[in-house]
Amino acid sequence: MRKRLRRAAWTVRAALRRRDGRAAFLLGVLGYPLLYLGTIGHLAVGGRGWSVLVVDDPVARAFRQTRPFSFEPVARVVAEPLVVLLSPLDVAVALVLAALVGANLAVAVAVWRSPAACGVESSAGLLAGVPALLTGATCCGPAVLFALGVGATGTLLTVFGYATPLTALLLLGGLLLVARSADTNAVRTDG
């Protein structure tokens, strides 16, 4: 396992040495938190004017859980037209996921754009990129759950309590899988 982790880290580093890999990584790291915070309602359009509100005892409030892996906002910033709720631990969760999304994207792009050689075909890289893309791009808010219909969402809500760590594990798993078969020639650094 340690060897596989090292190999995954090497694959990511190799991808980040390429220009297209870095671009993909930045896209994930910068874009995903915006999507994540938007879908949990902490980043929204519709604010009027400019204002900052900080709650009493923000440090204690920051650790108060609202649902699994989500915590109380300690401040609200309105900067027309945006409204931002600042929950430090939610931002931390978003950044961890964003790093994994960025790494997946970087490796995917690097492998996809390299010639198919010695281990991984270009389609493998594309497939590995799908989770990262879907993680950010297909998220469309509560409508997804409501669309699932009667009963299903009640059960899903329980499962979804663990969706955040599960997502992190699966993104990590995606990296490990790609790294397992990636070849030094497949992730060249001359992108």
Partner 1 sequence: MKSRHTRRGALALGVGVVGALAGCLGGTSGSAGSSESTGSSPASSPTASDADGPPAADHAPYVAYEASRLRNATVSGGVTKDGIPSIDEPSFLDASVAALDDGEIVFGVVRGDDVRAYPQRILVHHEIVNDRLDGVSVSVTYCPLTGTVLGFERGETTFGVSGTLVNSNLVMYDRATDSRWPQVLATAVEGPLEGRALREFEVVWTTWGRWRRRYPDTAVLSEDTGYARNYGIDPYGSYAPTVRGYYNRESTMFDPLATDDRLGTKTVVVGVRTDAGATAVSMDRLRTRGVVDATIGDDRLAFVHDPVLDAGHAYRVPADATVESATDAVRVDGERYAPDALPFERRHAIEAMWFAWAGFYPETTLHA
Report the site for partner 1 in 91-120 (rule: CB under 8 A).
97, 101
Q: Please, what is the minimum distance in Å from the beta carbon of residue 60 to partner 1? A: 9
Distance CA 86, CA 22 (A): 28
Task: Please report where in the chains the tokens 């754009």 appear, as a residue.
Answer: 113
Instruction: Write the interaction track for partner 1 spanning residues 33-72; mark x where CB under 8 A is met and - where it is not.
Output: --xx--xxxx-x-xx-----xxxx------xxxxxx-x-x
Cα distance between residue 19 and residue 21, in whole Å: 5
Which is closer to partner 1, CB of 19 or CB of 66?
66
The token duo for 62 is: 């920051």
> CA-CA distance, 33 to 128, in Å (whole number)?
20
Of 158 and 190, CB closest to partner 1: 158
Cβ 19 to partner 1 shortest distance, Å: 24
Question: Is residue 76 within the footprint of partner 1 (CB under 8 A)?
Answer: yes
**Pairing mode, if any, of strands 82-86 and 75-79?**
antiparallel
Q: Which stretch binds partner 1 (CB under 8 A): 8-16, 18-26, 146-154, 182-190?
A: 146-154
Q: In terms of Cα–Cα distance, which of 1, 2, 4 is closest to 181?
A: 4
Is 122 among the residues that bind partner 1 (CB under 8 A)? no
In the complex, least distance from residue 186 CB atom to partner 1, rounded to whole angstroms: 13
| Residue 128 contacts residue 174 (beta carbons within 8 Å) | yes
- DSSP lists the bridge partners of residue 165 as none
Based on the shown chain and the rule CB under 8 A, indicate whether residue 140 belongs to the binding site for partner 1.
yes
